Amino acid sequence: MRAMKRWQFWVGLVISAGFLYLALRGLELSEVWGPLRTARYWWLLPGVGVYFVAVWVRAWRWHYLLRPVKVVPTPKMFPIVAIGYMGNNIYPARAGEVLRAYVLKQKEDVSISASLATVIVERIFDGVVMLGFVFLNLPELATLTGSSGFIGNIQTLALWGSVAFLGALAVFLLAAMFPIRAEKVITRLVGIFLPERIRQAVLEVVLKFLHGLESLRSPREAIMVLITSIIIWLLETGKYWLVMHAFDFQVSFFALMLMNGIVNLATTIPSAPGYLGTFDGPGIAVLSAFGVDQGVATGYTLVLHAALWFPITLLGGYFMLREGIRWQSGKVIDQELEASEGE
Residue 290, phi then psi, degrees to nearest 5: -85, 10
Model pTM score: 0.84
| Mean of pLDDT values over 192-205 | 77
Average pLDDT, the chain: 83
Position 148 confidence tier, pLDDT thresholds 50, 70, 90: very low
Q: Which of 21-30, 118-127, 164-173 holds the top average pLDDT?
A: 118-127
H or E element in which residue 25 lies: none
Position 33 confidence tier, pLDDT thresholds 50, 70, 90: very high
| Mean of pLDDT values over 175-203 | 80
SS3 of 290, please? coil
What span, in angstroms and rounded, lies between the C-alpha atoms of 222 and 24? 41
pLDDT value of position 147: 46
Would you say how long the chain is, in residues? 343
pLDDT value of position 341: 44
pLDDT value of position 100: 92
The closest of 226, 223, 208, 216 to 115, measured between CA atoms, is 208
Longest alpha-carbon distance in the chain: 65
Q: How far apart are the first and last CA of the chain?
A: 23
SS3 of 324, please? coil
Q: Which tens digit of pLDDT belongs to each residue from 250-262?
A: 999 999 998 998 8
